[in-house]
Amino acid sequence: VKASLFCPGSDLPGNKGYERKEAYKILTAHGERLATEDSFLRISISATAADSILQADGNKKELKHVHCLQLTSRATDRQDDHDTGSDAPIIETIAINEPNMSHKTAILAIIDKVKAFRPGLVDTVTAVGHRVVHGGDKFSESIVVTDHVLREIQSVSHLAPLHNPSNLEGIRIARDLFSEKVPNVAVFDTAFHASMPRFAYTYPLPKEYSEHGIRKYGFHGTSVKYVSQVTTHILKEMNKDASRMIIAHLGNGASVTAVVDGKGVDTSMEFTPLSGLMMGTRSGTIDPSIVTYASQQMGKTPAQVISDLNKLSGLYGITGGDNDMRIITERASNGDGDALLAIEMFVYTLSKYIAGFLVSCGGSIDALVFTAGIGEHSPLIRKLTIKKLSKLLGDMIVDKERNDNNGKFSGGIISASNSSCLAMVVPTDEEVMICKECEEFILHH
């Protein structure tokens, strides 16, 4: 469950020609593996200004986002990266480990922490933002949740059965906990990809299929939107072009997205989160005939085969039970054949998608960006991938020291200084993007 709460605070002084909007007290929370023995909840609290400013332009004032403010614990390691002279926000991070924690328990824990942080703060909440994985073809942007919106999200939940039901549960709980005057804003992972051209999202199937909503949607959009904005800011600060990039979101779920002028033009994860790259427990794209063939030959129902493709395949299937790239890398270093094969397959499939999306970007790109768990923390996967793509990416070469440090001391850049196309590591932060979407809604509505 991912939910973001933020409340109005005190005014901050203007700075160097910029007039700050009022400060915000912001809370972000990230719960993982809820309702299992390994339930985990991370809560981060900030009482600093949001990262938007009002910039005077004659008599007109236009909202501009000048940088992306990290609101997780890693923010304490970095400075505010636009020139206002302020330090990075002070963050309090709380971790809660409780076996079989339900979504309601997690959200109530968040509320309790808000109450403990400052008495009366909950009563001043102005919005609750929710991540929703699949919006189908019904939602192309964030929207305030109504009973009708809930029904519409429910109607497409079969397209993301591992995600949407939990997203809906979180929304219903928050609506019960907060006043009707507090809007709940649904932020869709699929929304960023709504800009894909028709020829990219349409499947070569009879028209009746599209009438049932069968098309490419794309996922990880909240993450990709955030990373693309941060990457654009970094490149412009370096006086480099930032119009074309490929973003590889590599975690237990993984996808590659081609971004041109800030808009998604193609992506690897298509109709459901099962398609595309080889993933932690998901197969990625395979010949669809395998489903019926396996059903006939192995005595399984189609639903059982699909379940195997979602939960027992990918890295997990090839290694015989491991889907953590850190463990697989360690096994491979000790000569484990299954682990070596899994890494080779993962890198090969990833490289193929990146190479194909060069076409979507017009033949060349300004940056190849790695993000999410594997993307941010696996120098080996990045090195092997870039090596396969080097000739296609202007003789891109990995700088070993930069790559080994995950770009931490080189502004996120991990390629050698003479590389015409940059390779980068940009940490994602979906919670911040949800905050930004809520902020946009409040400012405009």
Is 189 one of the annotated active-site residues of the chain? yes
Helix (H/G/I), strand (E/B), else coil: 92: strand
How many CB atoms sit inside 10 A of residue 68's CB? Answer: 22
Contact (CB, 8 A) for 368 and 413: no
CA of 137: how far to CAs of 156, 193, 203, 216, 441, in Å?
9, 11, 14, 10, 21
Residue 331 phi, psi (nearest 5): -60, -40
How many CB atoms sit inside 10 A of residue 246's CB? Answer: 26
Residue 239: which region, alpha, beta or left (left: phi > 0; alpha: psi -120 to 50)?
left
The closest alpha carbon to 424, from 248, 240, 176, belongs to: 248
The closest alpha carbon to 371, from 381, 359, 356, belongs to: 381
- Among candidate residues 83, 112, 147, 189, the one labeled active-site is 189
* Helical spans, DSSP H, in 334-421: 337-360, 372-377, 379-389, 400-404
Residues 6+ apart with CB under 8 A from 25: 6, 7, 8, 9, 45, 46, 47, 118, 121
Active site (catalytic) residues: 189
